[in-house]
Amino acid sequence: MGEVSTIAIDGPAAAGKTTLALRLASRLDYLYFDTGVMYRAVTLAALEREIDLNDEEIMAQVARQISINVVPPTVDDGRPCTVYLDGRDVTWAIREPQIDANVSLPSTYAEVRSEMTRQQRRIAERGRVVMVGRDIGTVVLPEADLKIYLDASAEARAVRRLRDYQDNGQDASYNDILASMHARDRLDSQRDVAPLKPADDAVIIDCTTLTVEEVLDRVMQLIDQQEMDAQ
């Protein structure tokens, strides 16, 4: 039987990748793996070492020196996975505001991305993983069994992001969020390293008018059909 063991989910910000990946991983009993945790772990390691995040060469050295592992949740505290940095559980440490404020820059460095890609592939080789990001199907796992590119209009994504902010009690402006969304899309799609784009063989799902359940059902149908075809 041809099991769909590695699933890549890419797409722009606020398209619903995380929600889909979490639901899919839960349904399949697979590892949920948001590759963004890798860059958060590198940032944490650099800050703990008091490294200048603007020094790309030293940041690349840090990335090569550390070992990051991602496994299913080891503690029942709401975490979607457990993240280890050199054997230490940093699942919540990488979610601190200081990491939020500094993670963007290290993730733009080519050599840091290259090293993180190597470590992401090592984890994916174990199989039974749903990996989510912006360059999974094109760069990290070009041989993934199934590639999904989840898309939605910038307007729909801005509404979702606004709702998230409101749910968390944060003040936000729809127009500001929409402008930020357009800027992020341009940055992601035009960057020199691993630009955001669908893989040639990705299934593109426009979820502008779809519910989470509808998207999940569509992906499950794709998995079932692919596994039937492989028998």
User: Do 42 and 122 share a domain, yes or no?
Assistant: yes
Q: Are 94 and 37 in contact (CB under 8 A)?
A: yes
Print the domain residue range for 175. 1-30+128-221
Which of 75, 102, 126 represents a domain boundary (last residue)? 126
Task: Give a yes or no: residue 229 inside a domain.
Answer: no
Residues 54 and 9 in one domain: no
Q: Are residues 41 and 93 in the same domain?
A: yes
CATH number at residue 152: 3.40.50.300
Decide if 89 is inside a domain. Answer: yes
CB neighbours (10 Å) of residue 116? Answer: 23
pLDDT attached to residue 117: 95
> What is d(CA 22, CA 31) in angstroms, rounded to the nearest whole number?
9
> 215-222 long-range CB contacts below 8 Å, 24 or more apart?
215/16, 215/20, 215/150, 216/20, 216/23, 216/24, 216/27, 219/20, 219/24, 219/146, 219/148, 220/24, 220/27, 222/146, 222/148
User: 138 and 117, same structural domain?
Assistant: no
Per-residue pLDDT tens for 149-188? 999 999 999 999 899 889 888 888 999 999 988 988 887 8
Read off the pLDDT of residues 34-80 as tens digits, 9 standing for 90 and up: 999 999 999 999 999 999 999 999 999 999 999 999 999 999 999 99
Separation CA 147–CA 141 (nearest Å): 9
Please indicate, yes or no, whether residues 39 and 97 belong to a single structural domain of this protein.
Answer: yes
- Say if residue 84 is in the same domain as residue 146: no
The encoded tokens of residue 22 equal: 């979490």
Residue 228 lies in a domain: no
Q: Please tell me whether residues 169 and 63 are part of one structural domain.
A: no
* pTM to 2 decimal places: 0.91
Domain count for the chain, please give it.
2
Same domain, 144 and 85: no
